[in-house]
Every structure is written in C-alpha cells, then in structure tokens.
Structure 1
Amino acid sequence: MRVVDGKTLLITIYQTGPYDLEAYGIYPEMGWVMDGVFQEVDIETGEVVFEWKSLDHVPLSATLTPLRLDARVGDGLTKDTAWDYFHINSVDKNPQGDYLVSARHTSCIYKISGTDGSIIWQLGGTQSSFQLANYNFSYQHDARFREENETTTVLSLFDNGSNRHQNTSSTSSGMIVSIDHSTNTSTLVRQYYAPGDGLLSPSQGNAQVLPNRNVLIGWGSKPSISEHTEDGTAIFFATLASPDSQNYRAFKCNWTAKPSDSPALRAYSASTNSPTTFWVSWNGATDVDGWRIHATTPASDEFMPLDVIHSQGFQTTFVSTSYHPRSFAEGIAADGSSLANSSVVDTSSSLP
C-alpha cells in the first residue's frame, strides 16, 4: 500500500480465477491461477482510477517459479491452491503517471504505462529489456523509482537472491541500480549488505532511501533492520528478540501525532492544608515539551498559572506546596506554543 500525493492509494491484490492449464499437465478441467493486480484508488471517494492485471500482459511462461514448487506457489488444482505465477509485491508511481511493479516469481521489475497498462520495459526476468552489466537480482521486493529522465532511470530494490529453492546470491542486499536507455544497459550503483557475513533472506524485505541519502534495510524473513550511509557503511543494526519473528518491511521516519482526546489530569491533596500533587498525561502526543498547570486557590476561583514543568514522558508529576481546589493542565510545545488543555478537575483527597 502506498499513498500518492495524499490523494490516491496504490494497493496490490492477489486475485484467483480459473485458467486453462492443460499445457502444464492439468486437464481436462480448468486449473486455477493467481492474478497479480494493482489498483490506484481515490482515497476520498473510493473510486478505482486505474487497474492493472498481470494475466493481461505477462504470460505464464515468464514465471521462474514452477507450478507445484511448494505449497506457497500452489498446484493450480483448486481456488485455494491457485498457481501464484507472478506474485506482485510492490507498486510505485512516477510524476509522469507511469507505474513500477515488482514481481517476485518472475524475478522481474516492470514499468507500466499509466495510459493503457502496456509494459514499457522490463528489468530482469526471462525477457529483460536491458543487459545487466555488473550484477544480477532475483525474487526481489520493494522496487521504487528514485530518479528518472529521458536517458536514465535510477531504481532502488531489495534483492532477496533466493526463494528457498534456488539461490542466485550467497546473501541478500539492498540495491541502487541505474538504467541507461541509450545503451539498453543497467548497472549496479551501490549495494548494501548486513554487517558481518550478511543475511540470506528468502522472502520479504525492503530498501528505503532516506532524505539524507542513507539507506534503511528491512531484512524480511530474517528479523533484522540496518541503516547504512550512502557508501554502504552500516551505522545501525538490530535484530528482533524472537528468532521465529519476521520483518516484512521496515521504515524510518519522523513520527508526529496529536491525539483526538484531551490531556488527562489528576490532582490530589490530603487536606486543605496540604501540598497538591498533579499527574498529567496525554497518551500518543509527540510534540509536548512541557506542562503549564493552572489552578485556583481557597481565596480565589480565578485560574492562575503555577509553573511550567518539563515533560517527564508518558506521565508528568508536579507538586505544589499549596492547596489548590481546582486545576487544569496545558500542553506546551518546544517553541512555547499551546497545544491543548485538559478538562478542569477538582482536587481529590483520595489517592488515585
């Protein structure tokens, strides 16, 4: 799933249907094949503005994953065991309106016309439009447009190099590759390996190019994440604790959230002659730098600011030496601006 310009959504679909597989030894009844489909959908209306189906453009003979290879691929005999000959796993869109599709089971990346759905070119697979000069890839994931002009296309991808049955590499890797349309040649620009002896991940994975040109790699069925400088140096590597876990994709981004509910405040004082303790939290808010406590006094019902306390994390505690009958908390951003107020609460003489 990928959002395009905040207006449309790219989604991939695995659609099974009957198909004549007599040439593959399934007869006399029709067999079943899984179609690789993507749609671009208007987020606001739900309208499908573009749809593409692999069976309309890519023949079964293009697959590198034979019928009955394993249970994941399918035997083509029933709807539930349809032959997954294509296995679409990513779709991207360029500013010109064309699409980029990655198909794991054909080991191929396709540029698709946004006008009529025809294949403009294909990289890898059995009928590559380009000679791969100094590299190869197979069973890949997460192909993305990086740069493009009339003569050159630059892509990023995650090269699995394996599908559990066949290996074309001893380790998986993230790749930046360039296509020269004047010579119909593609070359490897940069490659990113897991530290140490590397990892061979037979499924899943991604390569995210960050704004500073670092590259984040999710290692798929190997539950690890790494970040690399542009030249390939690993500066971060982590593995999920459970060896049975998997990491379909990993991303690094700035996360900003403002909850739909208000901050929560609780105030406590043992008596009207005791200090008042305030506890405030706003679960999920990322921009809170501090809290300003506003409170009344026994002598006045007017709310006055007591102090600004630096946020202590999920819950912030503040103790006033005086008794305050009523109060509310105001979330403050790092630039001093006000984010939101809690409801006004009465001070309780019972501990929370």
Structure 2
Amino acid sequence: MHTRSLKPPTNPPPGLDVLQPGPTIYKSTGELVWSDPSLGSCNDLNLQTFEGEQYLTVWVGTGGGASGLQTGSGFALILNSKYEVIRNISAVNPEGTDLHEFRIPQPAARTALLTAFNPVQLDLTSVGGLAKGWYLNSIIQEIDIDSGRVLFNWTSADHIALDESFNNLTTSGSGTSEGNPWDAVHINSIDKDHEGNYLISSRHCKTIYKIDKNGTIIWRLGGSRSDFTALSNDTEFNWQHHVRWRNDETQISVFDDGAAVLHQTSIVVDEPVATGKLLNVDQEAMTVSLAKRYFPSPNTGFSLAEGSTELYGDFVVVGYGSNPWITVHDTATQGVVFSAVIGPNNSTLWVGGISNYRAFQTSTHAFTGHPTQPPSVAVVAGDVYVSWNGATNVASYTLFTGSSPEKVTTRVSNVRNSGFETKISAGGASTFILVEALAADGKILGRSVVHRASDGSIASR
C-alpha cells in the first residue's frame, strides 16, 4: 500500500483509513483523493517526469518482498492525469519485473531503472552451501521505455562476492533448490548519477554500491568492505532501503530500517529505531559523515522491511515500510511537523498489517487529477452524497433538479467540498437530480449523470 500526502497541516489527523489494497492518494488532512483497487497488489506509487511531463508511476503484480525470496512478478506502469495507463514496462527476465524499483532517471527522462530476481545454480561451498546450490541473482536493468530495449544489464552473481552477505546461508537453510534459493544480496533501489554510473542498495549486504556504466564496482559504502572512512557517529546503516543521490551528488539519503526479517521467521535487530538519514559523501577524500537524522514520532521502533526517505525543499518525508507510519520533518531542524498512521498500527507483514513501501509528497500544482468517469451520486434518507474518485481540484458541488431527465437545470444549492464524500441536502429537489463539480474559480470540472431523487437510481446517462 502506498500513500502520498499533499502538504503538512497544522493539526495532522491521527490516522488514515485504508479500506482496500491498491494505490492511494490522500490529502494531508486524512481525506482520500484517489484509489484504484482494480490494480490490485502494487508498490511505489510516485510522481515522475517522463518526456518532460509529470506522470504517476507504480509497480503492479503478484507476490511481495516480505519473504526476502521471490519478490514479485509484475510490470511498471505509467499513468496520465486521467489515471489511464500509457506505458507498460517490463524487465527482460524470466521471473518478470520485481517490485523494488521503478525509477525514471533525469534529465533524459526516457528510460526506466528496474530490479529483477532470478534463481540460478551456483557453487556455494565457500559459504557453507552446496556445490550445486541455488542463488537468487539480483538483477538491475535500464530499459528504453518506448522500445523496451535493454540498455544496461547487471547481475550480483557476476560482481558481488558471496561472503559480503549478512544473510547467513547455513542459518537460513536456503540455497538447496530452485524454489528455495539463497537471497544473498537483495537489491532494493537503483539511482543514477550525472556521469551515467549507478548507485544501488543491497539490503542483505548492508552496502551501497557505486557501479560504473561498464559494470565494475567503483566503491562500497557500508557493509563489511566499505571504502569510506567515517568522520562522525551514526553513519552506519542496517538492512537499508531507498538510497538516492542528493545535493549535486555530495550527499546520499537512505532509510535505515535497523532490522530485518529473513525467511519469514528470523528477526534480526541491529538498531532499536528506524530513521531517515542524510549522509555527506566525499568521493575524493573517501569520507562519510552524518548530515541529518530523522527520527519517528510519536510512534517509534525499528522497521522490519521497506521504507523511504524523500526530500522536498524545506521538508523531508519518511515512510516506515512495515510500520504503517509517515512523518514529515523540517529539513533543517529535523523536527516532526506532521505524522500519520495508515490503517491499523500493526507492523506484522504477513498477518493483516499495512505495508507502505514508500511514501511521497506532491501538490495539486505538480499533479492535477482529471478522472474520465463522472462524479458518483447516491441518495440516502433524503440526502444526496457525491464523490469523485481522483479529482484533485474540486472546491464545491452544485445540486440541480428538474421534472424530466432532459431538463435538470434548476439550481437547488451549492456546498463546499467536504472530503472524499460530500453530503448535500435534497430539500427542494423534485423528481430528477444531477450534481456539478466546480473549481475554486467557478469552472465546471465535471457533471454527474441524471439520477432519480427518490432512490438515487440512474435515470439518464
């Protein structure tokens, strides 16, 4: 489940109700803006630039990343402001496109960075496994969005040593079959620098790798073989997610989970609290220091999986993954200016918990939703209820009535949009009704079909 907040309010809501799976957009006041349960299982709903325009992007498919093994087979979708799919992108991989990354690198904005996983046979005797063991190969690909052509393909089996993994093979009991491969590396994010090199996060190696565009490893940050000298405390990270270049590639942001669940049963806790971190990275002196650290509040604790740290000028948005929390922080002071819980406050990944892979922020200036379906209307006990899934700029609704479906033109009342569903008194309405949605400047954004005022049934389309 993925949520997005629009702007930190003065008095944030205590929680956001998540009623069904699928991508969702919320206002920061807790009101639902859009959801599409028909897309089913999804991750990483975001707003990205493609060919100079802003679009929603999301991964949809089957499976999930909680097990740390096969992490899902699906597609990366690009949706326009009408919530229509305009591109469907897939990694060129037998197992399909994995859920962990779908990034459109800038400024070219014409390619997709995708993750994929594929079990392969490998000699695992050096780490206590079988000579013909099974290894879950972490794959990153850069795909041309329009043609689907693979521009770059890189695999962990060819570049990362087995003993860099912190996912103990013998303890896990994995690596014994194609259906039980050893997830040694577990790549969960990809970024790209201005020179065309790749920045990848390996959760199970606790390492950030910089990969040359020719495929060789340039350096490691973190893990057992770090090439950097720490100049301050708290630069380490454990079982991390969502690694991104920041500030002209002088800093790296990371979500430090602090803990992990391996093979659904083994919980490993290295830090008591999950935090968003901003690290100063000097690639000439090869030093790293802590710039900022963003702590959760009022809820606190480690995260077993997932999570994100995203910068928006004066604000930093942190999503806590397996913990259904979102916090927004003042970038400079690190203080919390907004917090919310998404659905039940339950961090159990497999028993009814809400999983929020990444949390992002936008505004109606950056994204304006124009749904193709008209506003929905229902009549209950003499009142009219109207909602318009995905419409972002509705300021008010006007109720009209008439004696025939062809002439519903008499204005009854106008009410302010009060949330995802707005109540309008039907007093003064005659046989038939319709509702218009208006912008703040009075522009008509949409009009419902004609309904019978008696029971809300559709009279005319």
Q: TM-score range by the shorter chain?
A: 0.7 to 0.9
Query: How far apart, CA to CA, are the structure 1 residues paired with 2:384 and 2:374?
Result: 16
Query: How far apart, CA to CA, are the structure 2 residues paired with 1:158 and 1:61?
Result: 24
1:337 aligns with 2:443: yes
Query: How far apart, CA to CA, are the structure 2 residues paired with 1:318 and 1:288?
Result: 18
1:15 aligns with 2:118: yes
* Structure 1 letter corresponding to 2:424: T
* Structure 1 letter corresponding to 2:159: H
Distance 1:322 1:45, change over 3 A: same
1:80 aligns with 2:179: yes
CA distances 1:170-198 after superposition (whole Å, capped 9, x unpaired): 43322100111231111111112234795
Q: What's the Cα RMSD here?
A: 3.3
Contact in 2 for aligned 1:137/1:168 (Cα 8 Å) = no
**Structure 2 spans left out of the alignment, 5+ residues:** 1-100, 261-265
Q: TM-score, normalised by structure 1?
A: 0.80
In structure 2, what is the equivalent of residue 132 of structure 1?
230
Contact in 2 for aligned 1:2/1:92 (Cα 8 Å) = no
Q: TM-score, normalised by structure 2?
A: 0.63
Q: Does 29-38 or 281-290 show the bigger shift?
A: 281-290
Partner-residue secondary structure (3-state), 1:23: helix
In structure 1, what is the equivalent of residue 308 of structure 2?
206
> Aligned match of 1:63 in 160, 165, 189?
165
Contact in 2 for aligned 1:9/1:40 (Cα 8 Å) = yes
Contact in 1 for aligned 2:276/2:308 (Cα 8 Å) = yes
- Structure whose CA Rg is larger: 1
> Aligned match of 1:188 in 290, 297, 304?
290
Contact in 2 for aligned 1:227/1:237 (Cα 8 Å) = yes
Partner-residue secondary structure (3-state), 1:55: helix
Identity of aligned residues (%): 29
In structure 1, what is the equivalent of residue 357 of structure 2?
249
Distance 1:174 1:321, change over 3 A: closer
1:101 aligns with 2:209: no
Query: How far apart, CA to CA, are the structure 1 residues paired with 2:358 and 2:248?
Result: 25
Structure with more relative contact order (C-alpha pairs < 8 Å, separation 6 or more)? 2
In structure 2, what is the equivalent of residue 154 of structure 1?
251
Deviation at 1:136, TM superposition (A): 1.9
Contact in 1 for aligned 2:115/2:188 (Cα 8 Å) = yes
Deviation at 1:144, TM superposition (A): 0.9
Contact in 2 for aligned 1:218/1:247 (Cα 8 Å) = no
Distance 1:176 1:243, change over 3 A: closer
- Listed as ranges, the matches of 1:1-352 within 5 Å are 1-4=101-104, 7-27=110-130, 29-70=131-172, 74=174, 76-113=175-212, 115-134=213-232, 135-148=235-248, 153-163=250-260, 168-195=270-297, 198-209=300-311, 211-230=312-331, 231-239=333-341, 240-242=344-346, 244=348, 245=353, 247-254=355-362, 256-265=368-377, 280-296=386-402, 303=409, 307-313=413-419, 314-319=421-426, 321=428, 323=430, 328-344=434-450, 347=452
Distance 1:241 1:184, change over 3 A: closer
* Structure 2 letter corresponding to 1:15: N
Distance 1:205 1:279, change over 3 A: closer
Query: How far apart, CA to CA, are the structure 2 residues paired with 1:13 and 1:218?
Result: 23
Query: How far apart, CA to CA, are the structure 2 residues paired with 1:125 and 1:158?
Result: 15
Deviation at 1:130, TM superposition (A): 1.5
Contact in 2 for aligned 1:139/1:159 (Cα 8 Å) = yes
Partner-residue secondary structure (3-state), 1:106: coil
Query: How far apart, CA to CA, are the structure 1 residues paired with 2:387 and 2:442?
Result: 18
Contact in 2 for aligned 1:112/1:120 (Cα 8 Å) = yes
Partner-residue secondary structure (3-state), 2:314: coil
Query: How far apart, CA to CA, are the structure 2 residues paired with 1:2 and 1:336?
Result: 38
CA distances 1:149-189 after superposition (whole Å, capped 9, x unpaired): 5xxx2000022334466655443322100111231111111
In structure 2, what is the equivalent of residue 271 of structure 1?
none
Distance 1:302 1:198, change over 3 A: closer
Contact in 2 for aligned 1:39/1:50 (Cα 8 Å) = yes
Query: How far apart, CA to CA, are the structure 2 residues paired with 1:219 and 1:144?
Result: 16
Query: How far apart, CA to CA, are the structure 1 residues paired with 2:132 and 2:287?
Result: 40
Deviation at 1:321, TM superposition (A): 3.3
